[in-house]
Amino acid sequence: MSKNKGLETDPEVLSRIASLNIHATKLVEGLLSGHHRSRHTGSSVEFADYKDYTPGDEIKHIDWKMVAKTDKHQIKQFEQSTNLKATILLDTSGSMGYLSPNPKTMNKMDYARTLVASLSYLFLKQYDAVGLSLFNESLINYVPPRSKPSHFKHILHELAALSPSGVTKIEDVIQSIVERLHGRGIVIIVSDFLTKESSIEKKLKLLVSRGLEVIIFHILDSDEVSFPFNGDIIFESLEDDPPIELDPVDIRETYQRAIQDQITHYRSHCAKLGIDYIFLETSTPLEQGLTYYLLQRKNLGKH
């Protein structure tokens, strides 16, 4: 792969990988530090039941201890969770590359990268398979889900090497990816959802209907929420919109209302579809966001 070449050569990518690695692992370890005690009670190694061995079952699954005790061939049954496949869809369109003129926090792309890296690490740490799909108007890169710990490096590399460009077309991407997702799994969509598409909900519904668990991370820069600009500004699009000249003061309130409407819209629709919707502003510390998410899931008893 051409990108793999950059893995060795591009020092910037390398440093970003290192940074992501440290950041993500630190983050996840920090998060999980409070959960050590219950480490084996959760997750995919959870014991479910015994069943009599029947030909065709894998021999490795026979509980030899039980054979020794009772001379019965019993097979341990575990939760399916060990087969969890998580696919992370990361929006790499132009809009994700927004850089604030007055950066106070991480920029949006870095925020998303770190989030994805953290999630990947989290999944891998739980021995779940995790894959990564990068998209803008189409799927531009696909890392199939693997549960090997070494897979993390692949993901990190992809994250580090990506550069935002193109137009967001989530609907098309969901349509195309839905074929690749076999069986039950988790689809995590990380995007700013700044798109002119109007029927994303339908595509989300499609995912849900396939038995996939969908989690949405809606990431926006603080600037995109509060619109803090002043003075005569010509706004140039990061995607394909024409430039627009205006006084931010004039439209600030209207804009804020519009963006809030959008958030509310997604939140309400996601709730209807049973989708976990997490809105994250870049000003929100990532730990806080993740913690919130994990707590939420725990409360719901999902993992």
Partner 1 sequence: MNAMNFNFISPLFLFGVIGIMIPVLIHLMTRRQKKHQHFSAIHLLLQSKNRSIRQSRPNRKFLLLIRCLGIALLSLAMANPILSMGGSNNLGTNGPSATVFILDDSYSMGTQTNQKSYYNQAVKTLLDINNSLPTKSIYSVVLGSSPSRVLLNWTTVSEKAKNILRSSQPTSRTTEIGVAIKKSLLLLEEVPQKNKIIYILTDRDKNGWNEEEFSSIVATKSHKFFIVDFSEMRDGINKAAVEHAEVQQEFLSNNRVIKVKVKTANLSQSKSISKLKVSLWVNDKEQTKETLDIPVNSSIDKEFSFPMQTHNLINGEVRIEDDALLKDNFRFFSYQPDRTIKTLIVDGDPNIVEHQSETFYLERALNPFTSSLSDIQLTISTLSELPKRNLLDYSVVIICNAHNLPFGYEQELEKFVLRGGALFITLGNQVNAKFYNERLGNILPVFLKSLHQTQKEHEPFRFLIKPSKHPVLKIFKEQTLEEMKSIEFQSFYSVEPREKSKFTTPIVFTNEFPALIESNIGRGKVILFLSSIDRDWNNFPIQPTFVPWIQRWIKYSANGLDSLIQKNLLVGDPFNWENPPKGNRAFIVTPEGEFMLAPYVEGKISFKDTFTPGIYQLYKSSRTSSSEQNTSVPSRLPFGAQSVGAFTVNINPIESSSIKISNKEIRSLLPKTNLTFSSSNQKFNVTETTERTPLFTYFMMLLGAMLLLEGWLVRNE
Q: With binding defined as CB under 8 A, does residue 102 bind partner 1?
A: no
Q: With binding defined as CB under 8 A, does residue 238 bind partner 1?
A: yes
Q: Is 46 helix (H, G, I), strand (E, B) or coil?
A: coil
Among 241, 268, 285, 298, binds partner 1 (CB under 8 A): 241
Among 236, 260, 298, 302, binds partner 1 (CB under 8 A): 236
Number of residues located near partner 1, criterion CB under 8 A: 37
Q: With binding defined as CB under 8 A, does residue 233 bind partner 1?
A: yes
Distances (CA, A) of 147 to 15, 75, 138, 144, 151: 24, 24, 25, 10, 7
DSSP H helical segments within 56-192, as ranges? 64-70, 108-125, 151-161, 170-177
- The answer to whether 197 touches 265, Cβ cutoff 8 Å, is no
Strand 276-281 relative to strand 213-220: parallel, antiparallel, unpaired?
parallel
Q: Which is nearer to partner 1, 1 or 233 (by Cβ)?
A: 233
Q: With binding defined as CB under 8 A, does residue 231 bind partner 1?
A: yes
Q: What is the sign of the dihedral through the CA atoms of 47, 48, 52 and 58?
A: negative
Q: Which is nearer to partner 1, 56 or 101 (by Cβ)?
A: 101
Q: Which is nearer to partner 1, 145 or 164 (by Cβ)?
A: 164
Minimum distance of partner 1 from residue 221's CB (angstroms): 8
Q: With binding defined as CB under 8 A, does residue 259 bind partner 1?
A: yes
Judged by CB under 8 A, the chain residues 176 through 205 that form the site for partner 1 are 192, 194, 196
- The answer to whether 186 touches 83, Cβ cutoff 8 Å, is no
Rounded Cα distance, 84 and 215, in Å? 14
- The answer to whether 104 touches 98, Cβ cutoff 8 Å, is no
Q: Which is nearer to partner 1, 224 or 281 (by Cβ)?
A: 224
Among 235, 265, 271, 288, binds partner 1 (CB under 8 A): 235
DSSP state of 243: P
Q: With binding defined as CB under 8 A, does residue 91 bind partner 1?
A: no
Rounded Cα distance, 266 and 286, in Å? 21
Strand 85-91 relative to strand 47-52: parallel, antiparallel, unpaired?
unpaired
Residues that bind partner 1 (CB under 8 A): 94-96, 98-99, 101, 192, 194, 196, 221, 224, 229, 231-239, 241-247, 249-251, 253-255, 258-259, 262
